[in-house]
Chains A and B, each alone.
Chain A
Amino acid sequence: MIPAGFEYHRPGDIASAIGILQEHGDEARVIAGGHSLIPMMKLRMAEMGHLVDLQGIDELKGIDIGAETITLGAMVTQHEMITHDGLAVAVPLIREAALQIADPQVRYVGTIGGNVANGDPGNDMPGLMQCLNASFELSGPDGIRSVAARDFYEAAYFTAREDEEILTRISIPKPGAGVGQAYEKQKRKIGDYATAAAAVMIGNGQASVAMTNLADTPIWSEEAGAWLAGGNIEGCVAAMLDAIDPVEDNRGPVEFKKHVAAVMLRRAIDRASSRAG
């Protein structure tokens, strides 16, 4: 649990951070809260010559609740999201899910940007962002572009982000009045990755469904959402079970995970529906 040596950088703005990434190519990685990257470095499964710490970049901070859109800076911590009253009113799902992430100490440091950018299929926020139809702002040498969360994840730890880009901001369309949301997660203990988790948003004739840690990316299923919007829960569950592809691990074999996935999804649907007005 001793990492290999590295150079530490702490740029003060996004442009400088991108500059360091350009200079060192794949030798460099940005670090936000570090809860995924540092353990990997200590296991020597991730070794890089240059670590670019984003803690000193003010423009990556802040939560903005707009009329149509909610914007989260990439360096907003889970704790800041949990304690932000406006966010809790606008998108209660985020607070509900963030409270399921790790423990308070981790949530003081762990960031939304790091959580969604790393591409770890165990992380809770990516599925949530897909459910909410969020988009990610990526800043790179060629400027700023936006990628939908639903298009961002390619495989475990592989995303649409280029090596020299930084995920800087997350935009979430503000859910309309009457929309109900729920996040249901089964885990072995507090702080654990999900055995299965489901994010559900339903209301006003529309629905969106995404699941976590049941494939090598989060799974958002347009078909499952369509079934649910039409009031067909069994159709929704069947479509989602078809879309996920869990693998056996210490949490259990595939048949168990599929069973639990359906249970979590049904519970999330029930709870989201009860909140929809």
Chain B
Amino acid sequence: MNDQTLTAEERAANLKGMGCARKRVEDVRFTQGKGNYVDDIKMDGMLFGDFVRSPYAHARVKSVNKEAALALPGVIAVLTAEDLAPLGLHWMPTLAGDKQMVLADGKVLFQGQEVAFVVAEDRYIAADAAELVDVDYEELPVITDPFESLKSDVVLREDLEGQTEGAHGPRKHHNHIFTWEQGDKDATEAVLAEADVVAEEMVYYHRTHPCPLETCGSVASMDKVTGKLTLYGTFQAPHAIRTVVSLISGIAEHNIRVISPDIGGGFGNKVGAYAGYVCSVVASIVTGKPVKWVEDRMENLMSTAFARDYWMQGKIAATKEGKITGLWCHTTADHGGFDACADPTKFPAGFMNICTGSYDIPMAYLAVDGVYTNKAPGGVAYRCSFRVTEAAYFIERMIEVLAIKLNMDAAELRRINFIKADQFPYQSALGWEYDSGDYHTAWEKALKAVDYDSLRAEQAQRVEDFKAGKTRKVLGIGLTHFTEIVGAGPVKNCDILGLGMFDSCEIRIHPTGSAIARLGTISQGQGHATTFAQIIASEIGLPADDITLEEGDTDTAPYGLGTYGSRSTPVAGAATAMAARKIRAKAQMIAAYLLEVHDNDVEWDVDRFAVKGAPERFKTMKEIAFAAYNQAIPGLEPGLEAVSYYDPPNMTYPFGAYICVMEIDVDTGEWEVRQFYALDDCGTRINPMIIEGQVHGGVTEALAIAMGQEIAYDEMGNIKTGTLMDFFIPTAWETPNYTTDHTVTPSPHHPIGAKGVGESPNVGGVPAFSNAVHDAFRPFGLVQSHMPHDHWRIWKIANNLGMHG
């Protein structure tokens, strides 16, 4: 029998457990077009909704005339705020403690805001009817600049007029949302005052959008016989959505079933609650029929959650030798018309206070002012853990700016200031406890891999050649060492709408030794069905191929807070390991009973329990599973299943070293990434192939953001980049080759030492690309310029530096 002849290594390999580059099991259906997304859901008698949206960024809605629309054959209803008000659903709470109009209640605050919801028998009639709804607007002054907004007499949020206290403390102005302060202001300013050197810059991380391949949508079906509401939707947090729907609709939570089917990318865009979800639910309650709403690409870009839009004023202090002594940051955060950020309650600016980065900075201060403007709401974590991308971009730019001020090599400046391996766990000046890291090792490995000194020599020669008129191309070497903070989070300080940010896993072992596991998370492309099965395989010795994984159905899966902020592996992955260990503990008792020895006389060996000192006497997990269902074991219940709710003791802190080498044509602003090296340390690596895929995807998104992708508005608040003609999504043509690498520094507090990786490449990639652009022009005098670095902005840098003769 195989079990007796195979070595332990061979048996472990057969499990395809942790460390195995196992192929993604999801891809069997995705690559054949057999996925089941929200828009694939068809139900008998299903109706279709479409929005009438505001063409204006700020206007009073004087009247909405539905007559012509209702007269169109096939139109069932046209809902406005007036219709939702009796149900109390014309406004909804946001995840940030603010409230947001579901349908325009007297005014609109951004272009594309939902004004009326048309329900019709088919999608085409709904679109025709939306055209026929006649809305009378009175235009109001538009504010698109957050600094202007804080000075303006124009009141954007009349509903909050007179409220000097917001969800996160005092409001200083009628367009002000909150001030969030971290660190010691006075002590930091004292350090700045006495420092040898202080570098100061405004670092702007522009507004962009997660733009997942699949847009947002929902199908609501109210069964008036059973009183049960079933809601399918593009939800990154299905369980939280169920609770929110119950709280705002008054439908008892047990009568609501929320299902996230296959999701085609989320990147934070699908965390929030949207008007479309609410309207599909209301329309289904009103009509008694299923109602589908799916937004199109333009609606996605203009109305569902944006990301970033942080103006970060920074000061960094250092000794002449380059030892950083203090960091100061004041951020003006443009939140748009409503504060709909998706951050843990106590963190209105997310984890922006990770902005001391990878560096041992003894004193720091951060303040963030949230501001209303006439732009779309959002501020979500676009492939990032709650503003970590903003924080990483800020510190990685400030390091470069300081290096210029000190006339020092930026790689050396980082080396001088890294937190040392023996300083972990490390207490940061802004309140975090970094779990583990070895930055110097990663950094030296990265510099060696790209032959950093040769690159610098080549760059120096290029500068000479440029000045001599031999070339019109400059060379940039973009450095980044980032530290992430992911895995939100410990219930003691992380909740969303009062829901603690633990996560969960339930595992049931079937009699024949296969299993099903259900989690509180939901994959949007991360490959959970592949990787979580690997964790279980390694923990309990059943092959990953024999383990089914389910997520997203609130009637079957245990409660969890969902997938975003790279939290699935740190939190639900931990819950998975813990649930598996409960099963293994029971299996040990079963094995001991079967082997007729004491529980403590058997030991775990890859896929079996064996009698200590007699390895030929064993029971495999498969045998134990069957025994759990057919043996009456004294003192043990039948069956073999477990559930774990995991409250992480700390965040995890993945890190990485990225280096980008870029060629730039100063005459056209065109760029070419010649080399991109990405070293990631995400702790224990569950599936190297999936990690590599995550890094490729994330760096490509970072390339887009740094080099062209933006949500831009004109001064009237019209969105200028509302289609994929202008909103930059790289194709294969624009995507460079990447070299991936890794070090492994496990998390000491995570059951399997894993830290999460999905967002690292976006967090580290953006500063790497941006620093490459800056670095190319550093020898010609550039200190700071703003992203996105599209052709004309790069050309403008060269032009301003007098490089066009």
For chain A, residues 239 to 263, give those with C-beta under 8 angstroms from any C-beta of chain B. 250-253, 256, 259-260, 263
Q: Flag A139-154 by CB within 8 Å of B: 1 or 0 each.
A: 0000000000000000
Q: Of all chain B residues, which has the CB nearest A186?
A: B668
Q: Given that A186-B670, A250-B712 are known contacts, is A103 also in contact with B731, CB under 8 Å in the complex?
A: yes
Interface majority SS (helix, strand, loop, mixed), chain A: loop
Contact yes or no, B128 A5, CB < 8 A = yes
Q: How far is the CB of A231 from chain B (nearest CB, A)?
A: 23
Interface stretch (choices A53-61, A189-197, A215-223): A189-197
Residue in chain B with minimal CB distance to A190: B733
Q: Is B298 an interface residue (CB 8 A)?
A: yes
Residues of B close to A2: CB separation below 8 A: 50, 123-124, 126-127, 296
Chain B residues in 8 Å Cβ range of A263: 667-668
CA distance A29 to B725 in the complex (A): 24
User: Considering the chains assembled together, what is the distance between the CA atoms of A192 and B126 in angstroms?
Assistant: 32
> Smallest distance from the beta carbon of A39 to chain B beta carbons, Å?
9
Please give me the residue from chain A that is nearest to B795 by CB atom. A256
B297 CB-CB contact with A under 8 Å: yes
Decide: B791 and A186 in contact? CB cutoff 8 A: yes
In the complex, chain A residues whose CB is within 8 Å of the CB of B795 = 252, 256, 259-260
- How far does the alpha carbon of A64 sit from the alpha carbon of B454 in the complex, in Å? 55
Residues of A within 8 A of B804 (CB): 259
Q: A1-24: which residues lie under 8 A (CB-CB) from chain B? A: 1-2, 4-5
Q: Which of A97-116 contact B (CB under 8 A)?
A: 103
Q: A5-B128, A250-B712 are in contact. Are A188 and B728 (CB under 8 A)?
A: yes
Query: Is A84 engaged at the interface, CB distance under 8 Å to the other chain?
Result: no
Contact of B296 among A1, A5, A186, A190 (CB under 8 A): A1
* B734 within 8 Å of A (CB atoms): yes
Asked if A5 meets B124 with Cβ closer than 8 Å, knowing A186-B670, A250-B726, the reply is yes
Roughly how many angstroms separate A2 CA and B712 CA in the complex, as a whole number?
25
Q: Give the complex CA separation of A261 and B670 in angstroms.
A: 14
Q: Tell whether B344 is near chain A: CB-to-CB under 8 Å.
A: no
Q: Is the CB of A188 within 8 A of B791?
A: yes
Chain B contact residue count (CB 8 A cutoff): 32
CB distance from A212 to the nearest CB of B (A): 15
Interface centre among A189, A191, A195, A252 (most CB of B within 10 A): A189
Give the docked Cα–Cα distance between A44 and B126 (Å).
Answer: 14
Task: Contact check, B734 vs A189: say whether CB atoms are below 8 A apart.
Answer: yes
Report the minimum CB–CB distance from B119 to chain A (whole Å): 15
Is B466 an interface position by the 8 A CB rule? no
Hey, what's the 0/1 contact readout for B711-724 against A, CB within 8 Å counting as 1?
01000000011000
Q: Does A1 contact B734, Cβ atoms closer than 8 Å?
A: no
Q: Which residue of A lies closest to B126 (CB)?
A: A2
Cα A259 to Cα B669 with chains together (Å)? 11
Minimum CB–CB distance from B237 to chain A (whole Å) comes to: 28
Interface flag for B755 (CB, 8 Å): no
Measured CB to CB, the residues of B under 8 A from A are 50, 123-124, 126-128, 131, 296-298, 667-670, 708, 712, 720-721, 725-726, 728, 730-731, 733-734, 790-792, 795-796, 799, 804
Show the binding face of A for B, using Cβ within 8 Å. Answer: 1-2, 4-5, 44, 103, 186, 188-193, 195, 250-253, 256, 259-260, 263
24 A-B pairs with CB atoms under 8 Å apart are: A1-B296, A1-B298, A2-B127, A4-B128, A4-B131, A44-B131, A186-B670, A188-B708, A188-B728, A188-B790, A189-B708, A189-B728, A189-B733, A189-B734, A190-B733, A191-B731, A195-B791, A250-B720, A252-B791, A252-B792, A253-B792, A256-B795, A259-B804, A263-B668
* Given A2-B127, A186-B670, A188-B791: 8 more A-B contacts, CB < 8 Å: A4-B128, A4-B131, A190-B731, A195-B792, A250-B726, A252-B792, A256-B669, A256-B791
